[in-house]
Amino acid sequence: MAPSAASASRVVRDVVFVDGARTPFGKAGPKGVYAETRADDLVVKVIRELLRRHPGLPPERVDEVAVAATTQIGDQGLTIGRTAALLAGLPKSVPGFAVDRMCAGAMTAVTTTASGIAFGAYDVVIAGGVEHMGRHPMGEGVDPNPRIIADKLVDPTALIMGQTAENVHDRFPHLTKQRCDAYAARSQEKFADAVKAGKIGPELVPVATRSAELGWGLATEDEPPRPGTTVEALAGLKTPFRPHGRVTAGNAAGLNDGATACVLAEERTARELGLPVGMRLVGYSFAGVEPEVMGVGPVPATEKALSRAGLSISDIGLFEINEAFAVQVLAFLDHFGLDDDDPRVNQWGGAIACGHPLAASGVRLMTQLSRQFAERPDVRYGLTTMCVGIGMGGTVIWENPIWDGSGN
């Protein structure tokens, strides 16, 4: 059958990241700031804030809401993209769905809906993620098929993320604990400096919290950071995943609660509605690796994304790498010949400081990159990348819309 005139003339449309926001990230557990706050209420708060910040976006123009959660159970279940849309006050005509790609959930919510925009199925979407690891620890309620281990499809350590990080140390012994501790201390310092300078903060959405013991409160800043962390203090921490190991609570992200969301749009639609254009999507890729060394996933994902975009690592002027573990970031940097303290990498610190609420983190990376682009007209391309449980990596490449041609 011959293609119709409409399909024959279809072209890929430009997709832009309009704006992103997030809740302050909390520590998981009974003493965390969100211990008695529902997960879905966190993401609803962020969606409402995005709509409030952009009154030029009529709610009925939102074509889809995609919300990721790694543990899709309880208040993170029931097709959370749809229920969050309803709770946020979007018209009942706005559909929604849920996403799970573990740590890359929000990243996948973005790339999936962005593909729909590029294809012409949507004009405007909201994409994000939420994780309440205090209420729902990773793996709660799951029943892994025993053949995964019995048939030796993966090493048993593949199902415990901290052990996979120890495996990366084994594979790359030059990535020492000392290097990881030094990287972690710098992440804390950079994040603290960014908070003081007002770089971190404008994207945060204050969240009312409730405690049966303490009453009502207001979360206005991230709970996990430990400013003043030193390499000497990190050196003495326990290694919970292996006796005499190298992965500690100090050189890895913690267990956290939080939510993120962003608005994506077709570029002409964004300009028609008077929405800001924070960055333009260039391309993305996901890649699989051996599950027992899932931390190396960003390497092939980035190589694949760069190749498909016709770019090289030298074209990238800013990197936002999710710091699930310091060793995973260092494996990426070593592979691409970047220094441990390259100023282009995580210039405002990362998840080791502010936290990693699994499925929410991808949009945090994007929001920070977009805000960095606004300060750096000399930088044309940036990327967001992260490792993903069960042996994957994801990378998204973005272009700075205010690039002035003076740099890469």
Please check the confidence at residue 1 and state whether its pLDDT lies above 50.
no
Please give the pLDDT value at position 8. Answer: 57
Specify the pLDDT at position 318.
98
Token code pair at residue 31: 């003493």
**Average pLDDT for residues 188-200, to the nearest whole number?**
98
Question: How much is the pLDDT for 407?
Answer: 72
Tokens standing for residue 190: 């950079």
pLDDT for position 3: 53
Please answer whether residues 330 and 179 qualify as being in contact, where contact means their C-beta atoms are separated by less than 8 angstroms. Answer: yes
Helix axes 80-87, 39-53, angle to 10 degrees: 60
| pLDDT, tens only, 353-390 | 999 999 999 999 999 999 999 999 999 999 999 999 99
- Given a cut of 50, whether residue 155 has pLDDT beyond it is yes
**Would residue 103 show up in a list of annotated catalytic residues for this protein?**
yes
Domain boundaries, the chain: 154-201+282-396
Average pLDDT over residues 304-325: 98
CB 333 within 8 A of CB 339: yes
**Residue 150 confidence (pLDDT):** 87
CA-CA distance, 294 to 391, in Å (whole number)? Answer: 4
Could you tell me which residues are beta bridge partners of residue 132? 257
Distance of CA 98 to the CA centre of its chain: 16
Number of Cβ atoms within 10 Å of the Cβ of 220: 13
Confidence class of residue 36 from pLDDT cuts 50, 70 and 90?
very high
**pLDDT tier at 7, thresholds 50, 70, 90:** low
At 51, phi and psi to the nearest 5?
Answer: -65, -35
- Look at residues 22, 274, 293, 350 and name the one whose alpha carbon lies nearest to residue 171: 293
Question: Which of 20, 41, 37 is CA-nearest to residue 28?
Answer: 37
Note the pLDDT of residue 6.
53
Q: Give 4's pLDDT tier (boundaries 50, 70, 90).
A: low
Phi, psi of 82 (to 5 degrees): -75, -45
Q: What does the pLDDT look like over 210-220, one tens digit per residue? A: 888 889 999 99
What pTM value is reported for the model?
A: 0.96
Written as six digits, the tokens of 58 are: 């009529």
Please write the tens of the pLDDT for every residue from 255-281: 999 999 999 999 999 999 999 999 999
| 3-state secondary structure labels for all residues of the chain | CCCCHHHHCCCCCCEEEEEEEECCCEECCCCCCCCCCCHHHHHHHHHHHHHHHCCCCCHHHCCEEEEECCCCCHHHCCCHHHHHHHHCCCCCCCCEEEECECECHHHHHHHHHHHHHHHCCCCEEEEEEEEECCCCCCCCCCCCCCHHHHCCCCCHHHHCHHHHHHHHHHHCCCCCHHHHHHHHHHHHHHHHHHHHCCCCCCCECCEEEEECCCEEEEECCCCCCCCCCCHHHHHCCCCCCCCCCCCCCCCECCCEEEEEEEEEEEHHHHHHCCCCCCEEEEEEEEEECCHHHHHHCHHHHHHHHHHHHCCCHHHEEEEEECCCEHHHHHHHHHHCCCCCCCCCECCCCCHHHHCCCHHHHHHHHHHHHHHHHCCCCCCCEEEEEEEECCCEEEEEEEECCCCCCCCC
From 132, 136, 169, 356, the catalytic residue: 356
Task: For tokens 């994040």, name the residue.
Answer: 191
What is the average pLDDT value for the chain, to the nearest integer?
96
Percent pLDDT > 90 in the chain is: 91
Q: For 323, what's the count of Cα atoms within 13 Å in the CB-facing half-sphere?
A: 32
Residues 18-33 have pLDDT tens digits of 999 999 999 999 999 9
Q: What's the distance, CA 331 to chain centroid?
A: 19
Q: What is the pLDDT of residue 149?
A: 84
387 is known as an active-site residue = yes
Q: Is the pLDDT of residue 110 over 80?
A: yes
Q: Based on the residue annotation, tell me whether 356 is a catalytic residue of this protein.
A: yes
Average pLDDT score over residue span 98-116: 98
Residues 154-201+282-396, CATH architecture: 3-Layer(aba) Sandwich (3.40)
Closest to 96 measured CA to CA, from 78, 108, 111? 78
Position 48 scores a pLDDT of 98
Question: Within 13 Å and on the Cβ side, how many CA atoms surround 47?
Answer: 29
Query: In degrees to the nearest 10, what's the CA dihedral of 214, 216, 221, 222?
Result: 60
Q: Can you tell me the distance from the alpha carbon of 339 to that of 352, in angstroms, rounded to the nearest whole number?
A: 18
> Is residue 312's pLDDT more than 70?
yes
Identify the active-site residue in 180, 262, 354, 387.
387
CA 184 to chain centre: 18
54, 103, 180, 262: the active-site residue? 103
pLDDT at residue 195 in the model? 98
Pairing of strands 26-27, 316-321: unpaired
